[in-house]
Structures are given as structure tokens and as C-alpha cells.
Amino acid sequence: MLRRIFFILLIVTITWQEGSNASLAIANKTPYFVYIGSTTNLVPSGSSEIANYSVSIQQSLYFLSQNAASHEKAQEDCRVQFGKQSSLVSIETLEELGNITKFIQESGNNGTLFWTSGAYKVDTDRQEFQWGTGVWLNPSGPPWDNNHPDSHTLLSRVALHTVGSLKLRTYFNTVSHRYLCEVLVKLN
């Protein structure tokens, strides 16, 4: 087991440099976006049995749009600019939220709203929050801004509010905001 962990860490170290080169190549071809940072994550897959358990290494590259668009157009722009492994950002962990907060603050883009892949749905008997990757969250779990989420709208899209600490807000999908694209690069 220790050999496997050491091997995975070795692969992360070796492929980090390769991933950094991929980050620069993608960043240089996108004049309407600003590259703000990347993270490298170990993504578990397979069963919990050691023989069938595997870990892949995935890098997330983050790009801020320079223009505003509706939610649907923003999602389309991410795919057109960066390919099928990209979408509006899905912030699935507190660590990822912390990294994105740091990247946005360092880029000087505080005080702006950015579309994410999040959707907030209200049914007659329940409220649901889901990232575009299919990850469902308890609606009370994410860091919502004051008076959000809006429970009066049947379907709202989720934007990242970047004043002070990052918070989530709900809006109609036709409202124009800048947006944050996430490009997934598999490193092994």
C-alpha cells in the first residue's frame, strides 16, 4: 500500500511539469479569457477493494471571461474556446473554493459576479442544488450570500459573488455576467 501511495506521489511530481506546460499552451490561445490558476487533484475511481481501486491525476485550469453573457452562452463559450473537457466551474470542495478565491483576488477581479455551472431547483416539496458535473449538494451547505438562494424561482443558475469572501447567489439564466471556465486535463 505504501509503495502504491509513493508511486502515485511520484507520478504527481513528474506530471505536474507536463501539466504546467499544457496550462501555458491553453492560456496562450484564448484572447477573450484570462488564465488565473490551476490545481492538481487525485481523483479516486473503482471499488473500495485495494485490488480494484485506482487514482487518476487531474488538473483543473481556471479562466475568467473578459465579457459578459447569459448562462447558456457562457457554457457554450467555455466549450468552444477550450473543448469538450471544459465547462463553467463546479466548486465541489472547500479547498477548491479557497484556491479560486485566491486566484480571483490575485487577478484583481474582486467585486464581480461570475457564472458557475450550478443550478438551484425548487420543487413543491424540496429544494435542490447541483453542480454541472452532477454533484448534488444540500442547499444549506454551500456558502450562500445574504438573501440567497432565491426560493421563489423554480430554476435559477448560480453565480459566484466576489466581494470580500466568495459567496454564491442565484439569478435567472438570461442575466448577463462574466463567467469562470474550468478545463479538466487528465495527467495519467
What string of pLDDT tens digits covers the 188 residues of the chain?
A: 333 333 333 333 333 344 444 544 555 555 689 999 998 877 666 545 555 566 778 889 999 999 999 999 999 999 999 999 999 999 887 788 888 888 988 998 877 899 999 888 887 677 788 888 777 766 666 777 877 777 677 778 988 888 777 788 888 889 999 999 999 998 87
Classify burial at 163, counting beta carbons within 10 Å of its beta carbon; exposed 0-12, middle 13-18, buried 19 or more: exposed
Burial letters 32-49, b for 16+ CB under 10 A, else e: ebebbbbbebeeeeeeee
pLDDT value at residue 45: 61
**Opening angle at CA 144, ends 139 and 145, nearest 5:** 150
pTM comes to 0.75
Decide if domain 2-186 falls under CATH 3.30.56.10: no
